[in-house]
Structure 1
Amino acid sequence: MIKIFLIIFALCSLILILSSRFRKQTLYSKVLIYLSFTIISVFIFFITIIYLWNSGDDYNQRKHVMESWNIQVLNNSEMPIKNVQVINLRKQADTIISDVDGTVNLYEYRENLVVFQAGGYIPDTINVVKMKSRKVYLNELK
């Protein structure tokens, strides 16, 4: 990908050098050529920086860590439970509510005890550090 950016930059530089050789150009066309070259160079620079940033090991590791904290809350028949409240026991006001497919991201709670609570289900307290699975099962009230 970087090679493509370098080739585009080299072609733009070549066009700039060749266009500046023409003596019969007006000042307006020269300014337009230099301005377009500058804009293209800045654009290619930012695209290259973004590409390098996103392709680094640190970014991919953080992305993997974030995805590994997505926990699915299910009932005993493997159906997702909607609107599950995840309450942090250290800060009671800090609560997450699961989305439609019953998925909760516990990255912020990675060192805490949390309570999974839903209407019609028995609440469950889980230590996030000791979780071995990406699924949490809640039992229905009888």
Structure 2
Amino acid sequence: MGNKLDKVIPEDEQQTKSVPTPTGCAYCSEKVRLVSFKQLQPGAHICQGGQNSMLYMNRNQKCLYTHHAIVKNVNCSTETDTKAYITFIHYYSTPYDAEVKIRETREERDLLIHEMYIVRYRYARFQPDQVLERAQKVLDDDPA
């Protein structure tokens, strides 16, 4: 009935032992909504609504899936920092070709229209410059 990670502890041991915290990305990360592109740095892990299944309800985007990417570069296009050209490194596939490939794209985003989130990790394994370096290496090694 409970979660597989739940552990039943006899009453006499409850005071001396604690229940282990479940592990995994869902437990060690959080999504923080972007309100200014000044918050976005190269090497950041971002997520945004999937473009193929997005609709708006009460000023919020509702999506069937989120698309994740690594930020390579950010160029703000307005003084309000709500519009920018962003270079992403991300995986993709198409409905016509199920093979997953990696690519680099440069796209314009407006935070007044597009909801974007930074994925923040409680215990980051790599620094942002290392994340970007690793993503660039995978991109450079991709035969496509």
TM-score by length of 2: 0.23
Structure in which a larger fraction of residues adopt helix: 1
Of structures 1 and 2, the larger Rg is shown by 1
* Structure with higher RCO (Cα < 8 A, 6+ apart): 2
